[in-house]
């Protein structure tokens, strides 16, 4: 039995498109349609993109003007976690599965065995570090990941694999939290990361794709052809009959989802003139609470965070408007959000403490 339990169907998807909104939309469609007992492995690349976590303030994480000056775009994904820079020297991976009961997968571990097998085949040593990173033996990271999960057993883990990323551009377009860097004991984001091509000279994105696909098949002893879905550079979809999905219907769903990811209201969010702002960094991530309070009632709220537990903070953000601005009411809303999303107890306690401090 593998780390993902006992799946019955294995599917592979790859996108030649480099449009971040299309690739995020395809991932969402795969996530939404995952059948029970299925594992989907998806590889994709974006051209010059900063992708922020669901609860982040994009303008606070990305130097948008510098990014747009080089023809880049900002995007927001559905999962939590921090901002990442993508260019064609980076390969993005996504693992999606749906299992219930005894075979339910831990989202944070999804795909670990496949990635580890592929890296070993390339002669690369790696270890999990931080909240959800992969790093070289010297501690420099080359991969970060985040996850999504749904009550019906669907889980998704997606992340980056830096092969030959332009780290000068990465540093120029990311607005990195200096406190976060100090907590890692490094002076700059460039000193904290490493490309896989530096660890395995001559490595290309194409070679890494091949190693990952081979590792996926080896991990599950897949015999015969692996059912495959391919997206061309122009977004045209082609899929094997084994995918059991109408490609025309999928294309319609993709178009609608892409429009949502490209919508500036989704990317940049709604802004308000906040009267109360408080920030703190915890072991699980940073959090900034932005509140507008009028006549002792919260009228607007925005919680900016790179925490991986995105659902709890999103739920709390929705509950805060209309809440009386007093300690008991704020804590009660945090408890309501926690009851719905079941975050780690440490996170809930820290958030409640920060809300108290905002009074």
- Tell me the two tokens of residue 154: 């669907």
Looking at residue 337, what is its pLDDT?
95
Beta carbons of 309 and 349 less than 8 angstroms apart? no
Radius of gyration of the chain from its Cα atoms, rounded to whole angstroms: 21
Task: Answer whether residue 161 shows pLDDT above 90.
Answer: yes
Looking at residue 222, what is its pLDDT?
84
- Tell me the two tokens of residue 116: 């580890």
Q: In which element (H, E) is residue 184 found?
A: helix 178-184
Percent of the chain with pLDDT over 90: 73
User: What pLDDT digit, counting tens, does each position of 252-268 carry?
Assistant: 999 999 999 999 999 99
Task: Answer whether residue 2 shows pLDDT above 50.
Answer: no
- Tell me the two tokens of residue 82: 């921090």
User: What pLDDT digit, counting tens, does each position of 234-293 carry?
Assistant: 999 998 877 777 788 899 999 999 999 999 999 998 677 899 999 999 999 999 999 999
CA angle 185, 110, 268 (to 5 degrees): 65
Looking at residue 102, what is its pLDDT?
44
Task: Answer whether residue 162 shows pLDDT above 70.
Answer: yes
Instruction: Identify the CA nearest to 236 among candidates 20, 26, 31, 9.
Output: 26
pLDDT grade for 109, boundaries at 50, 70 and 90: confident
Helix (H, G, I), strand (E, B) or coil at 81: coil
- Tell me the two tokens of residue 297: 């009632």
User: What pLDDT digit, counting tens, does each position of 308-347 carry?
Assistant: 989 999 999 999 999 999 999 999 999 999 999 989 999 9
User: What pLDDT digit, counting tens, does each position of 122-147 carry?
Assistant: 999 999 987 789 999 999 999 999 99
Dist. CA 80–CA 313, nearest whole Å: 9
Task: Answer whether residue 103 shows pLDDT above 60.
Answer: no
Q: How far is CA 198 from CA 124, 163, 195, 352, in A?
A: 10, 8, 5, 43
Percent of the chain with pLDDT over 70: 91
Range 196-220 average pLDDT: 96
Q: In which element (H, E) is residue 132 found?
A: none
Dist. CA 37–CA 4, nearest whole Å: 10
């Amino acid at each position: 039995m593998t780390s993902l339990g006992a799946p019955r169907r294995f599917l592979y998807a790859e996108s030649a498109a480099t449009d971040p909104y299309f690739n995020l939309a395809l991932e969402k469609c795969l996530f939404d349609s995952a059948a029970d007992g299925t594992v989907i492995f998806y590889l994709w690349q974006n051209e010059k993109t900063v992708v922020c976590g669901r609860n982040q303030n994009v303008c606070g994480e990305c130097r948008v003007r510098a990014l747009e000056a080089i023809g880049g775009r900002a995007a927001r994904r559905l999962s939590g976690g921090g901002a990442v820079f993508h260019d064609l020297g980076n390969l993005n991976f996504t693992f999606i599965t749906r299992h219930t009961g005894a075979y339910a997968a831990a989202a944070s571990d999804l795909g670990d065995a496949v990635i580890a097998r592929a890296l070993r085949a390339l002669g690369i040593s790696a270890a999990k570090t931080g909240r959800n990173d992969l790093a070289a033996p010297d501690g420099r990271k080359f991969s970060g990941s985040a996850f999504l999960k749904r009550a019906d057993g669907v889980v998704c883990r997606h992340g980056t694999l830096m092969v030959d990323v332009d780290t000068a551009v990465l540093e120029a377009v990311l607005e990195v939290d200096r406190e976060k860097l100090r907590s890692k004991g490094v002076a700059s984001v460039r000193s904290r990361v490493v490309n896989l091509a530096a660890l395995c000279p001559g490595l290309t994105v194409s070679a890494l794709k091949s190693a990952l696909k081979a590792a996926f098949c080896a991990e599950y002893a897949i015999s015969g052809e692996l059912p495959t879905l391919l997206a061309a550079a122009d977004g045209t979809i082609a899929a094997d009959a084994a995918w059991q999905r109408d490609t025309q219907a999928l294309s319609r769903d993709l178009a609608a989802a892409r429009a949502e990811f490209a919508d500036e209201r989704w990317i940049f969010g709604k802004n308000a003139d906040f009267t109360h702002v408080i920030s703190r960094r915890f072991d699980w991530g940073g959090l900034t609470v932005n509140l507008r309070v009028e006549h002792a009632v919260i009228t607007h709220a925005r919680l900016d965070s790179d925490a991986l537990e995105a659902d709890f903070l999103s739920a709390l953000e929705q509950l805060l408007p209309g809440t009386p601005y007093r300690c008991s009411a704020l804590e009660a809303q945090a408890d309501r959000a926690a009851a719905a999303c079941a975050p780690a107890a440490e996170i809930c306690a820290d958030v409640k403490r920060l809300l108290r401090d905002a009074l």
